Amino acid sequence: MTDADSIRHVPHASPTSAEARRALMQNPGFGKVFSDHMVTFTWNAEKGWHDGEVKARAPFAIDPAAAVLHYAQEIFEGMKAYRTKDGIVLFRPEENARRMAQSAERMAMPPVPEDMFIDAVETLVRTDADWVPEGDGSLYLRPFIFASEAFLGVRPALQYIFCVIASPVGAYFKGGYKAVTVWVSDDYTRAAPGGTGAAKCGGNYAASLIAQAEANRNDCDQVVFLDAAEHRWVEELGGMNVCFVMDDGRLVTPPLGGTILPGITRASVLLLAREAGLRIEERPYSFEEWKADAESGKLREAFACGTAAVVAGIGEVRFNGGSFTIGNSGDGPVTGRLRDALVGIQRGTAEDRHGWVHRVE
């Protein structure tokens, strides 16, 4: 860390009382309750990233011509702090730092150095440690960068803000795990070759919302996107990667190739699955194969994976003109074992053989 990167503490004038905080954290849901503080840094060409502060969470004053509002130059990350028996931990935060730098490159934005990213996240977690839930909740952390320059010309902005906010969240599945139902979108695609599919940018989500709404209209929890060129190959869900468990011990998952977001949960699950003796095939898998394999029984389980839900079994697949179920339509045994293995490491109840757990305090 250089001095320019260090984070100044600005005291909070009226932090939430312990009693009010406990009430807010009783049943927080997802992304609705926020902790007291935020971390911010500013970037300009002359000084680079500077003016790091941790202070009361408050609205930004940005110019109506701020480039992000017009051309969507914005990227984000999503990660969680967990309360374990030994203290508060993060899961592979350096992977989030690295991915955010890659997203920044794709979106022509200045990358945040890895040590500054980790320092910002740790500082917020330490400052708002009381907001990290007990039990099976966690403190969801949202680092993001946006173009704040007031300029309507089209080029990469010359001013940015990096910010981290935090939100206590409950268990993704209230009252125990259950398999999700997914909708395969015909009309919409998420990402095309050469596009921004591998960058974690807000624009990808803006483009996915209409398809997610269509999924919800069809009583599905999540949307599955097929590739943009042929509408044939399974890519991923709106915000989660997807894996298929076969009856002969293979685990098939679509390959990263620019149109799929490289999930940290995906990478972790693939390693744990390989160690558990599954054969990993990262290869294109078509919707036709998915349907045929589910109907023949060759496909035993399918699951979605990402930071929010960790690992979620897929029980039923719906599409224009039909539907099919997978295995026993429930949360399968391999899915359950992989989830338990990963959650165990994150929660400090299983050995961390890969050095994935990053102690904050």
User: Which parts of this chain interact with ligand PLP (CB under 6 A)?
Assistant: 78, 200, 236, 239-241, 261, 263-266, 306-307
Radius of gyration of the chain (CA): 21
Rounded to a whole number of angstroms, the minimum distance from the CB of residue 342 to ligand PLP is: 10
Which residue, 78 or 336, has its beta carbon nearer to ligand PLP? 78
**Structural contact between residues 106 and 196, judged by C-beta atoms closer than 8 angstroms:** yes
Which residue, 54 or 302, has its beta carbon nearer to ligand PLP? 302
Tokens of 215: 């999924």
Rounded to a whole number of angstroms, the minimum distance from the CB of residue 9 to ligand PLP is: 29
Which residue, 266 or 339, has its beta carbon nearer to ligand PLP? 266
Cβ atoms < 10 Å from Cβ of 147: 26
Rounded to a whole number of angstroms, the minimum distance from the CB of residue 88 to ligand PLP is: 19
CA distance 73 to 2: 27
| Terminal Cα-to-Cα distance of the chain (whole angstroms) | 19
Which residue, 148 or 307, has its beta carbon nearer to ligand PLP? 307
345, with CB counted inside 10 A (0-12, 13-18, 19+), is: buried
- DSSP E strand boundaries for the chain: 8-9, 37-44, 48-56, 74-76, 79-84, 87-91, 138-147, 159-169, 180-184, 222-226, 234-237, 241-246, 250-253, 279-282, 299-306, 310-319, 322-325, 357-359
Which residue, 93 or 263, has its beta carbon nearer to ligand PLP? 263
Rounded to a whole number of angstroms, the minimum distance from the CB of residue 51 to ligand PLP is: 28
**Structural contact between residues 92 and 268, judged by C-beta atoms closer than 8 angstroms:** yes
Which residue, 7 or 89, has its beta carbon nearer to ligand PLP? 89
Q: What is the DSSP string of 126-147?
A: HHTGGGS-STT-EEEEEEEEEE
In the three-class reduction of DSSP (H, G, I as helix; E, B as strand; rest coil), residue 310 is classed as strand
Which residue, 48 or 284, has its beta carbon nearer to ligand PLP? 284
**Structural contact between residues 273 and 249, judged by C-beta atoms closer than 8 angstroms:** no
Rounded to a whole number of angstroms, the minimum distance from the CB of residue 173 to ligand PLP is: 16
Rounded to a whole number of angstroms, the minimum distance from the CB of residue 239 to ligand PLP is: 5
Residue type, 260: I
Which residue, 159 or 241, has its beta carbon nearer to ligand PLP? 241
CA distance 264 to 183: 24
Residue type, 216: N
Rounded to a whole number of angstroms, the minimum distance from the CB of residue 329 to ligand PLP is: 24
Rounded to a whole number of angstroms, the minimum distance from the CB of residue 154 to ligand PLP is: 25
